A = this chain, B = another copy of it.
């Protein structure tokens, strides 16, 4: 009986020593693992980190415009459009024309969206607790601080100022 083994025991083979001192490479690896865990901690209808971020922000700031949301998430306006279309299709959020600016839309969660956010948040707490379990609370906080600093790396001109 062949039976394609359920998944070779290849547990994210250690990165070769050449690369494990490269911050960027390790960041990518960690990010993939953490995102996968975030999704894995959910049940039934899984929500991707990106969609979750959108839903969470809309829920926190009802009536937000698409542009404002894009600024918050550092994504391009053009890329938000299909995201919102999908959320609308799933009955999670809606666009409503602004009353004060006829160009822009106000974003709102629908009841199903509220419920989904609550559900994913529960999973997210489990997910984060798994991280704390791995790093400890203090180091997790240090990690967040460092990641925040790194996200400002923005080419501050390697040459002069």
Contacts and interface: CB of A to CB of B under 8 A. Distances in A.
Number of identical monomers bound together in the oligomeric complex: 2
A131 B27 CA distance: 13
Contacts of A114: none
A161 to B, nearest CB: 13
A50 to B, nearest CB: 9
B12 A155 contact: no
A18 B127 CA distance: 16
A148 B23 contact: no
Interface of A: 10-13, 15-16, 18-38, 40-41, 49, 53, 56-57, 60-61, 71-74, 124, 126-128, 130-131, 134-135, 139-140, 142-144, 146-155, 158
Lowest 7 A-B CB distances belong to which pairs?
Answer: A30-B150, A26-B147, A27-B31, A29-B151, A30-B147, A24-B34, A33-B153
